Amino acid sequence: MAIKAQIDALLQEKMDRKDFLKYAGTVILGIIGVTGLVRMLLGSRDFTLPSTQEPSKQQGRGYGMSSYGK
């Protein structure tokens, strides 16, 4: 019942558009998190530094990729 009382108190509070947008933004950031927001804005791109290791040989499928086909 405490949550219902808090929601009722929040709905009865007078606020202007600026205060509402601040509150709504805070709630949205709290729900999805800052890292989720950054990932969403960046389109889930992977921004890692290139590795200095040699690329591994790709394992393929098919007749030409088996030891028999080489």
- What number is the average pLDDT over the span 62-68? 65
20 or 51: which carries more pLDDT confidence?
Answer: 20
pLDDT tens for each residue of 31-61: 888 888 788 888 766 655 555 555 555 556 6
pTM score, two decimals? 0.42
Cα 50 to Cα 12, 42, 47, 53, 54: the distances in Å are 54, 19, 9, 9, 11
DSSP string, 6-58: HHHHHHHS---HHHHHHHHHHHHHHHH-HHHHHHHHHTT----PPPSSPPPPP
